[in-house]
Structure 1
Amino acid sequence: MASTLIDAQDKSIEDFVGDKRTHIVDGHLQNNNKYVAERAESLVGRAKTRYGEMTSGRLSTAQLGRWKAEFELRAGLRFSVSEECPACGKLGLLEAEDVENMRIETSGYSEDDYTVMGLADAAADYFVCGHCQLVLDGYELLVAAGIEPVFEVEDDDFIEQLSGEPDYGNE
């Protein structure tokens, strides 16, 4: 995440820590990237095992008692979309709270017959699968697990925010 933030500011690590400490920070970032990749691999591997045990009927009564439905695993973030689970291949839920690149798009055939949509790109940071109990909590884990963390969302609030005029609903 630090690398992303530094790149977004068109800066380098050296700009923040100086020449003498750049190699130290680079080492920490490489260790963090390795940790995130190993953690994602471990979480996905464990979820594959759980899914195999569940589908073959080998889960104990205690394990079945701890099994949660997808809605219990959710983070409850504002935006969500179905996404293929990297562990079991079933559909899980990708969630996001923040959006960027808000825009208004119109489509239609004429001036009198058109649709206006408020669109934005949601930056996901949570994935959950009720089929295998996989939970990936964080942008870096999503990327390491092979999940595309950005998805498009539609919301009328984007139109209001971009137009600067509140919708009073009294049409």
Structure 2
Amino acid sequence: MSMRALIFALGLLLAASPAMARTTHRVDDSASQVLGNTLKMKWDSVAPQRGQRPTVSGTITVLVRLNLAPWQGRSGRVYMTLPAQATGPVTATWTTRGRLLPGTLRAGERTLVYAGAMPGGLLEDTMRLVIQADGQRLARSEQLNFTFEIDLEGP
């Protein structure tokens, strides 16, 4: 077998691998609760360094409750997502109490928050989020629509 044929055969094998067969589903997080209604943003610096955009930040706590019952016992990865924002870059950084992974998420991306076997019922944790945005482009009132999605492994 030539090297080219071997590489092609390996490529086909990897493409057909069960680890590559994933399906993505939206996770019901409707039982989650934001503590405090409004995220109050404050300027990060009175005078940002030359060439840097002035940013604003705020902190808020969310009781996250993810309904993973439809996938109980299956293996997968749960991601938190945030759509791209018309007002420019937004970054969320958070800590948790341990059930979910701490992390950072930029608008327009998704970040892993849980991996492994899906528990039955609700997966609950408390997230303390720090949101940072471009202070020049941020409108007075913005709504950030974080969502969660799951990638299941295998059939």
Normalised-by-shorter TM-score class: under 0.3
* Structure whose CA Rg is larger: 1
The answer to which structure has the higher strand fraction is 2
Hey, which of these two has a bigger chunk of helix by percent? 1
State the structure with bigger RCO (CA 8 A, min sep 6), 1 or 2.
Answer: 2
TM-score by length of 1: 0.23
